[in-house]
Structure 1
């Protein structure tokens, strides 16, 4: 198989990734199969099995590719507003009729398999590092103590959203997202989230 960027290998990977995402959006992780991804992508089943091996491999690869995409980071000049926008970005992503089921399927896969769990961990580590830039700017502006754990502020701002979605299965409103962001800001200002 051609290994050049943009060559046949890249086209096959993209087709399989798009088919994986479409299958997850329509059927969730529980019904994701290599056969259905092969049919949808137009890539021969033996190629999909050889390269990805299983639904877990498909999930891990889709997350790896997603990890490489940049997340749009707010820059409002206020940490409060930046954190609120990040929390709303997470809430809105799960509320989206297409992206939401895909994101939920990634979490479901991570609970059930070690490969997807590692891939999801790497995905979120990258997202938290990208988002931590808003906290670094706030430290420079003097809004937070210098020893603030910048990634922990982001984790604290979005954790209540995940708790409501995946543990208690409660709806998450815009106000819930704002409150989560505000709680993270209060904790960071109080020095609770220092490194």
Structure 2
């Protein structure tokens, strides 16, 4: 198939449209996001987009979920120390990239009178926390963490310092930030602060 051939309806068109949606968010933000522009960027007709995503919020939510899932893989190194460090570093790398900045821009509060991002975008982040829970469960099975460790609380504590700097204080983030967040979460877990009964 030549590079100029139509994308069709399969996985290639889905990937092209989702990538174009992230590019559109990066360029125009949520308020300026249009399906027409996404279709043009992806090289498809807008009816192709609407066939899969009935409205722009469905498309945005799917694009965000795809970006997060692709760029922040769930590690399984056999060590909770390494798993948390890799998870935090992947988050920092992604959050500093154009797709990550686009996602964060959607999540930020909008000015008065501007369109509000769809609530389902928040589910993207809740789903990512849910998908990371096995990292903690495996550590419990290996005896690295106490059996009553609450996986969700540990993962939230891991990502919180990173999002604080990006969303609240506007500080730069890097590997040092990621490593400190991982060490903080692990220290708290080993101190029993995430016990389900506490």
Category of TM-score, reference length = shorter chain:
0.7 to 0.9
**Counterparts of 2:82 and 2:22 in 1: how far apart (Å)?**
31
Q: Which whole-Å CA distance do the structure 2 matches of 1:90 and 1:67 have between them?
A: 9
The answer to whether the 8 A contact 1:161-1:180 is kept is yes
From 91, 94, 119, give the equivalent of 2:121. 119
Instruction: Call closer, same or farther: CA 1:36–1:104 in 2, change over 3 Å.
Output: same
1:83 deviates by 0.9
Q: Which residue of 1 aligns with 2:187?
A: 186
Higher mean alpha-carbon deviation, 181-190 vs 44-53, is at 44-53
Q: Hey, which of these two has a bigger chunk of helix by percent? A: 1
- Separation in 1, partners of 2:51, 2:104: 26
Deviation, structure 1 residue 114:
6.0
Q: How many residues align?
A: 187
Contact 2:80 2:144 in 1 (8 A): yes
Specify whether residues 16 and 109 from structure 1 end up closer, same or farther in structure 2 by C-alpha distance, changes over 3 A only. farther
What is the CA distance between 1:160 and its match in structure 2?
0.8
Deviations 1:35-88, CA, capped at 9 Å, x for gaps:
211322333345646764554332123235457759533333331222111111
What residue number does 1:92 align with? 93
Deviation at 1:142, TM superposition (A): 1.7
Alpha carbons of structure 1 residues 169 and 38: separation in structure 2 relative to 1, 3 Å:
same
Corresponding residue for residue 107 of structure 1: 107
Distance 1:65 1:139 in 2: 29
Aligned Cα RMSD in Å? Answer: 3.1
* 8 A Cα contact 1:33 1:54, kept in partner: no
TM-score normalized with structure 1 length = 0.77
Deviation at 1:152, TM superposition (A): 1.7
- Partner SS state of residue 83, structure 1: helix
2:80 is matched with which residue? 79
Unaligned runs of 5+ in 2: 1-6
Q: Which runs of 5+ in 1 are unaligned?
A: 1-5
What's the offset of the Cα at 1:124? Answer: 2.2
Contact 1:24 1:102 in 2 (8 A): yes
